[in-house]
């Protein structure tokens, strides 16, 4: 990502800060949507969070959010709570790495 930003560490730091500010509220909204069994809201929030995550990772977090979005679009979120737990674990690792990077700068 640093290369995509013209190797500008200041801009990367700002992008990371925005993600760290916005991801937790989106995650809370996603938890709520899944708990309420709201397919449409789950799909919308998973899509939005996936777009944010994709800037930093094409791995497990993004894949899990894609699965959540597809489940919700299909109207079947019975497996969403388990997928949400997997995604949260991977997201926690990503956030930890971002905070570590931010502290080094």
CATH code of the domain covering residue 73:
1.20.120.160
Cβ-based neighbours of 80, under 8 Å, separated by 6 or more? 34, 42, 68, 71, 72
Rounded to two decimals, what is the model's pTM? Answer: 0.86
What pLDDT score does 61 carry? Answer: 93
Could you tell me the mean pLDDT of each successive run of 10 residues in the chain, 105 residues long? 72 88 94 96 96 85 95 95 94 88 73
* Domain span holding position 46: 3-104
The whole-angstrom distance between residue 94's C-alpha and the CA centroid of its chain comes to 9
What pLDDT score does 105 carry? Answer: 65
Domain count, the chain: 1
């Amino acid at each position: 990502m640093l290369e995509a930003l013209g190797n500008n560490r200041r801009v990367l730091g700002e992008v990371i800060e925005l993600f760290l500010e916005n991801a937790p509220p989106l995650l809370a909204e996603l938890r709520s949507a899944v708990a309420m069994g709201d397919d449409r809201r789950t799909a919308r929030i998973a899509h939005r969070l996936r777009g944010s995550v994709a800037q930093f990772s094409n791995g497990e977090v993004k894949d899990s959010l894609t699965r959540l979005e597809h489940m919700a679009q299909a109207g079947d979120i019975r497996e969403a709570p388990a997928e949400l737990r997997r995604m949260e674990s991977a997201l926690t690792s990503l956030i930890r790495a971002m905070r570590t990077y931010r502290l080094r700068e």
